[in-house]
Amino acid sequence: MLLNLKAFFCQPLGDRYRDQLPRLTRDIDSILLLAGYYDPVVAQAWLENWQGLRHAIATGQRIEIEHFRNEANNQEPFWLHSGKR
């Protein structure tokens, strides 16, 4: 799920961001459910860039879309089994 999300948003989408808002929202909700095992503060801090991206898309803030897209894709893996933990 997260790999698909990162792979999909790894490159700018131009005018196609709004089309992906349902997918992004669904994936964020799924990650929130799966992250229930983790410290809520850590999980929320990690999700902030993805949630910022969702908000920027929903409100049409082009500069913020690219900022949050880059930040979300460049952050460390979250899941304990995902490599860097």
pLDDT at site 85 = 47
pLDDT at site 82 = 56
pLDDT at 70 over 50: yes
pLDDT at 81 over 70: no
pLDDT at 14 over 50: yes
pLDDT at site 57 = 97
Q: What angle do CA 39, 45, 49 make, to 5 degrees?
A: 145
Q: Which two tokens stand for residue 49?
A: 């860039």
